Chains A and B, each alone.
Chain A
Amino acid sequence: MEGLVALARSLVTFLHFWPIVLTLGSTLVGIMIGCMPGLSATLGIALLTTLTIKMPPNDAILILISAYIGAIYGGSRTAILLNIPGTAANAAACLDGYALARQGQAGRAMGIATTGSVTGSLFGVVCLALFTPLLGEVALAFGAFEFFWLAVFGVMMSGQVTGEDALKGWIMGFVGLFVALVGQDGIHAHNRFTFDINDLAGGFSLIPMLVGAFGFAEVLTAMKDKMAPPALRAFDSVLPRFGDVLRYWKTVLRSGVIGVYVGILPGVGEDMAAWASYAAARRASKESEQFGKGSVEGLMAAETGDNASIPGAIIPALALAIPGSAPAAVLLAAMIIHGVRPGPLLMVEQPQFVYDVVAMCTLATLGMLFFGLFLIRPMLLVLRIPRTIIMPIIFVLCVVGSYAIAQRLFDVWTMIGFGVAGFFLRQLGYHMAPLVLGMVLGDILDKSLRRGLVLSDGSLEPFFTRPICLVLWLVIAASILWQIPPIKEAAGRAAGALARLTGVRDREARPRG
């Protein structure tokens, strides 16, 4: 009851002219960022963080959340129309969205994507309101041992599910953890790896690193190859058909649950939520043979899953200060810059803020619905701007954004360094998302490990025997073992044998007709 009152108070606070204008404007910006292949939600939020640095905290965070939701949604437009996912989260939407577009049903596909995104987002918002306080309460019992494993878990999961090579993902995660430790350490204020450079004493700032790794690296990646503006095909009405929605309500619900669950897992992200929802829908569907050939159900599942995972990813960011995805990591950093202290004490110190975030997500979802239904055609004009024009402008924004946080040229150099390194690493098949998670979680890992060792007087036993720690390290160990080819093959053979065995039993049990 107390929570409902707080939620109502938050909704009333945001139902005014200025917050609505901010929501609509930033959702539109987010959708356009998402529409443009190459510009990720993470980059959009990082750049907007610098733009909103002087704004009141609630306005700034409202803008960032709206852009986040808009960007993940916006990426589905190009996935459907061009078979190019605007963001990584929309890759699953390409399969059936583009197939529908080729059958002359691009408008219908966009309507389905809009419906799925809005439903998934609203489902996620409900979970955000319900689970953040609960998780916060549970997290009050977490100690240094649990936070250490949560940080390792986030990096390992992110490394595992991002890209094709888990080893590369893990390397990026550990490098991110290390980069976060450069500068004065959080316990004794001793300079680590600063090489007597004064600017390094404060460490690398997170936002310039992110702007470099996601922005400048993307500018270089886009400039590497010549690419003409895409030709957009005409499309039918984007207004969703209620029959499509009602027919697949089970898929929507299942995808929402999967999306929120994947979102809550530290570091896993929206793209995995979309793929997991898509795979689950395919397994459960009566028309699974249609998947990949223009299945409405498949598209609905993918888009519901990725949007449901946005509020899902915000849940651990608020309750544990451990983000569920790379964009949520930037959002977490922005909250800290604006004086919010996410973590187990948030529900004790600033409980209203959690409900403010719920209200922000709700408004942004409604903004997404508005633009998705009524302003799709003008928004797609942004795709006609050649990359040779848009990319240098993005770079100028990267420079301004890096400088704006602390007015230090050192931050611009940081952005350049991480951008060039990020470009070459991408070319070698390394993903940036685990690096971001590592950068955000490095401080937690560092302090938790050392505090834990002090508490246990150097014994590693509590790290492995406390109940939550036990679960976390077992999952981590299993995920590592799973990457070892002989073990993976043996597990595959065992699963196959089990499936055959159960199949034989099923056939024997079935009455002969």
Chain B
Amino acid sequence: MQSLDNQPSPRVEFFSGLGWITLGSAIVYGSWTMDRLENLNINPYTAPGLVPGVLGAVIALCGSIMAVRAARVGTSGSDRTAVTRAPIFNWRVALSIALCLGFALGLVGRGAPFWAAAAIFLFLHVFLFSEFGERRGQRRLWRGILVALAVSAGASFAITMIFQEFFLVRLP
């Protein structure tokens, strides 16, 4: 379920529109300069760049509409900038992305056994978020370590066994 209570400001919408225009234009350029395979004598209507080019143009068009709409809302004074919005990005997201990237790009497939990589990631994620994210007292530090250890050991063992032994799926 996605929460859309936190609608972005016209300024953000305007720059999003510019972003879509840039992406759409880049796609159109890439499609236009794509090999049309004329040397293979193909039907020109089956050129590989045709459909991506059309889609790029449509994305750029939609981006333009979004940018114009946001600009009009912004100048009309009926925008929603007065409403306090939660930031899109905070330290919790940054920490979670860092841990997830560290696990998926740094540990997985680099020689470490999957169960060990998963256990390290789970321990760090559960411990850091439950201790510092929830701002618990010092007295519960050891409890937090024990919970994180139990979760990481149990979950990494269960996932490895279920996927590898029961469903015969190869793990990274």
Question: A residues near B, CB below 8 A?
Answer: 37-38, 40, 50-55, 84-88, 91, 163-164, 167-168, 170-171, 174-175, 177-178, 181, 185, 187-188, 190, 192-193, 216, 219-221, 223-226, 386, 388-389, 391-393, 395-397, 399-400, 403-404, 407, 409, 412-413, 415-416, 420, 423-424, 426-429, 431-432, 445-446, 449-451, 453-454, 458
Contacts and interface: CB of A to CB of B under 8 A. Distances in A.
27 contacts: A40-B1, A86-B1, A87-B1, A167-B62, A170-B62, A171-B59, A171-B66, A174-B59, A178-B55, A193-B30, A193-B52, A216-B100, A220-B100, A223-B92, A224-B93, A392-B125, A392-B126, A395-B121, A399-B103, A400-B169, A403-B171, A409-B109, A412-B109, A416-B100, A416-B105, A427-B88, A427-B89
B8 interface: yes
Contact of B108 (A167, A223, A412, A429): A412
A188 B40 contact: yes
Given A400-B171, A409-B108, A409-B172, A167 B130 contact: no
Contact of A190 (B35, B96, B156): B35
A431 B52 contact: no
Interface string B54-75: 1110110011011001000000
Given A399-B108, A403-B171, A190 B50 contact: no
Contact of B163 (A163, A219, A400, A454): A400
Say whether chain A's binding surface is mostly helix, strand, loop, or mixed.
Answer: helix
B103 to A, nearest CB: 7
Contact of B2 (A170, A413, A426): A426
Interface string B110-128: 0000100010011001100
A235 to B, nearest CB: 22
A38 B35 CA distance: 44
Interface in B90-108: 90, 92-93, 96-97, 99-101, 103-105, 108
Say whether chain B's binding surface is mostly helix, strand, loop, or mixed.
Answer: helix
Given A190-B37, A432-B2, A423 B93 contact: yes
B167 A388 contact: no
A429 B12 CA distance: 11
Contacts of B155: 393, 396
A431 B126 CA distance: 28
